[in-house]
């Protein structure tokens, strides 16, 4: 057995058993009203045809634009297959940039709720993507940052927008 | 706590992919309690419902991309974890900015007079989770809060079941070390708290 795998009741696993117990003791369970709201949301959303306009691919990160700090952030915070070495998730638009624009607006709205519209930071660059982008076009970060968390958020935003890899 | 491991209902998935909202709802219903637990672990109680809703919306919009080998639960939980983690980071930055503007120290989770001990532990776990490599964090949360099986987590994260067992073990070990170093007393087997 691999030394890192878990054997219940093994004294060597006291810490991981204790941590499991601590997590289970601090779990937040939804009340019935919350579950009902989530179910209503599910029914409302799925009553409409799904929006289907985007998929995602991979590209080489334009390091010259993103800067050395970005390179550090990407190599230390891999976010998907291939990212460690070559790239970040990007939009591959089909058939036009319109759906992407809609999704971007949604992300910006969410950010405005929590960050303040005047302080969207790198997310402003998302809004500046060419709405006439065609299928297969690359989308680059287009901003400089020394804040790895901001960069990671940009990447996360793309994962959220473009979803399943 | 652990959700029953069951093979995804292929017929429901096929109907959902064809646009049948009732089939999608039938797939989602049994997952909601654990989906909420996963979202609340990363986004807190205040952000959990929003993150869960957003994840469900994305799951519906992307259902056509669900691969046959990926369990539906793993598909949905992947969205929930990403949404909850991103929302939580935004919220923390917003809070830090507000604290800075107000000239106050950021909230410290370990001040005994601030909140009850259980709430402190919950926050500390959330913060410690955020320091883990993302894959390790996701594996721990999917296993403990989501109740997913090794096989389901492996499909969700693109790893082998053996790797998932290692990731979960190492993740829990790191969390335990971090919490103990902060002075938290973790419960032991047999029940002391």
Q: Hey, of B1, B62, B154, B166, which one would you mutate to test binding to chain A, going by the most A CBs within 10 A of its CB?
A: B62
With residue B138 as reference, give the H or E element that holds it.
helix B134-144
The mean per-residue pLDDT over the stretch B54-78 comes to 87
The alpha carbon of residue A51 is apart from the nearest alpha carbon of chain B, in Å, by 5
Compare all CA atoms of chain B with the CA of A117 and give the residue at the minimum distance.
B94
Q: Which of B85, B125, B166 faces A23 most closely, judged by CB atoms?
A: B125
Please report the pLDDT score of residue B69 as a whole number.
81
* ipTM computed for the complex: 0.81
Q: Which domains does chain B have, with CATH numbers?
A: 10-181 (1.20.140.160)
In sequence order, what are the residues at sequence separation of 6 or more whose Cβ sits closer than 8 angstroms to the Cβ of residue A11? Answer: none
- Within 13 Å of residue B161, how many CA atoms lie on the same side as its CB? 5
Please report the pLDDT score of residue A97 as a whole number.
39
The mean per-residue pLDDT over the stretch B70-82 comes to 88
pTM over 0.80: no
> B86 and A22 in contact by Cβ < 8 A?
no
> B189 and A42 in contact by Cβ < 8 A?
no
Compare all CA atoms of chain B with the CA of A49 and give the residue at the minimum distance.
B19
Residue B149 has which token pair? 């099986």
Q: How confident is the model at residue B158 (pLDDT cuts 50, 70, 90)?
A: confident
> A15 and B189 in contact by Cβ < 8 A?
no
What are the φ and ψ backbone dihedral angles of A82, each rounded to 5 degrees? 90, -15
E runs forming strands in B33-111: none
């Amino acid at each position: 057995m691999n030394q890192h795998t878990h054997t219940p009741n093994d004294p060597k696993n006291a810490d991981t058993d204790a941590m499991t117990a601590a997590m289970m003791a601090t779990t937040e369970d939804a009340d019935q009203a919350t579950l009902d709201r989530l179910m209503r949301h599910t029914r409302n959303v799925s009553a409409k045809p799904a929006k289907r306009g985007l998929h995602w691919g991979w590209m080489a990160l334009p390091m010259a634009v993103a800067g050395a700090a970005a390179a550090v952030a990407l190599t230390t915070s891999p976010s998907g297959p291939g990212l460690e070495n070559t790239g970040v998730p990007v939009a591959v638009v089909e058939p036009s940039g319109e759906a992407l624009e809609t999704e971007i607006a949604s992300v910006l709205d969410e950010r405005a709720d929590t960050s303040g519209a005047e302080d969207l930071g790198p997310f402003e660059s998302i809004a500046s993507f060419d709405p006439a982008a065609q299928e297969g076009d690359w989308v680059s970060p287009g901003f400089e940052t020394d804040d790895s968390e901001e960069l990671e958020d940009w990447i996360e935003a793309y994962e959220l927008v473009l979803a399943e890899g | 706590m652990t959700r029953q491991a069951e093979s995804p209902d292929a017929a429901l998935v096929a109907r959902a992919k064809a646009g049948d909202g009732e089939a999608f709802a039938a797939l989602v219903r049994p997952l909601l309690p654990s989906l909420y637990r996963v979202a609340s672990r990363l986004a807190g109680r205040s952000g959990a419902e929003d993150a869960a809703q957003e994840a469900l919306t994305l799951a519906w919009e992307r259902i056509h991309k669900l691969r046959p080998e990926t369990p539906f639960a793993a598909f949905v939980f992947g969205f929930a974890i990403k949404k909850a983690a991103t929302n939580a980071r935004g919220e923390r930055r917003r809070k830090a900015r507000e604290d800075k503007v107000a000239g106050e120290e950021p909230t410290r989770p370990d001040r005994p007079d601030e909140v009850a001990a259980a709430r402190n532990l919950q926050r500390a776990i959330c913060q410690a989770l955020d320091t883990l490599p993302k894959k390790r964090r996701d594996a721990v949360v999917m296993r403990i809060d989501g109740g997913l099986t090794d096989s389901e987590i492996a499909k969700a994260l693109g790893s082998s079941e053996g790797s998932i067992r290692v990731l979960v073990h190492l993740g829990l070990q790191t969390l335990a070390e971090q919490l103990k170093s902060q002075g938290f007393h973790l419960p032991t087997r047999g029940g002391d708290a």
